[in-house]
Homo-oligomer: A and B are copies of this chain.
Amino acid sequence: MESRHPVPNADNPWKTLTRTRIYENAWIRVEHNEVQRPDGAPGVYGTVRFANHAVGVLPVADDGSTWLVGQFRYALDAYSWEIPEGGCPLGTAPADTAHRELREETGLRAAHLMHIHNVALSNSVCDEQGSVFIAWGLTEGEAEPEGTEQLALRRLPLREALDMALRGEITDSMSLIALLRAPMLLKRLDIPDDLRRALRRGLE
């Protein structure tokens, strides 16, 4: 029995009787667990452990623009418009990954980054965690996509990206969380003035 979670949680009402590693690649490890359920009955639990921490970053330019990235998602078998996103290897700071993914996917350099949410993306069988950021103080440059990525890029007012989310044209969970949160940031008294101005312009 091996786990990235070596300290069992005392409050866990599930008992793991046996754990078998079924599959592993660079991104995921699949385990089959024979368990005793919270009601005492026997059961099985297949779990998917993620090697990377997910990162999503909503860029907001001084003029209120944001950028969406379009790509075909192999696992979903569908095209998807999303905020810039990527995987953060364990041991790397999510903020560093946010800067890197923003630069690779959009060419943008961000002077400022603020963490807005931690997310458990899919709570039934996955242990994947994500961090969502907002980036501002942006400088444009050349995008540098990876070989696994064939990306389309779209610059649009933040309001239009939010409207796409409200109309159901954006379904990616971290993108929805970032876009739905953006208007609420304006109610916070402690956000920097330049972010407030950019959000106001973008959401008018």
Contacts and interface: CB of A to CB of B under 8 A. Distances in A.
A37 B78 CA distance: 15
Contact of A22 (B22, B87, B168, B177): B22
A173 B35 CA distance: 26
21 contacts: A9-B78, A12-B74, A13-B72, A13-B150, A23-B30, A25-B44, A35-B74, A38-B149, A39-B148, A45-B74, A75-B126, A82-B123, A117-B168, A118-B171, A119-B176, A120-B172, A120-B173, A122-B122, A122-B173, A124-B128, A176-B177
Contacts of A25: 32, 44, 46
A160 B128 CA distance: 26
Nearest to A48: B48
A121 to B, nearest CB: 4
Contacts of A68: none
Given A46-B27, A78-B9, A73 B173 contact: no
Interface of A: 5, 9, 11-14, 22-23, 25, 27-28, 30, 32, 35, 37-39, 41, 43-48, 54, 72-80, 82, 85, 87, 117-129, 147-150, 166, 168, 171-174, 176-177, 180-181, 183-184
Nearest to A87: B124
Contacts of A180: 177, 180-181, 184
Contacts of A48: 28, 30, 48, 75, 125-126
Contacts of A23: 22-23, 30, 32, 46
A166 to B, nearest CB: 7
A128 B171 CA distance: 12
Given A30-B23, A37-B147, A147-B41, A120 B73 contact: yes
A75 B54 contact: no
A183 B117 CA distance: 18
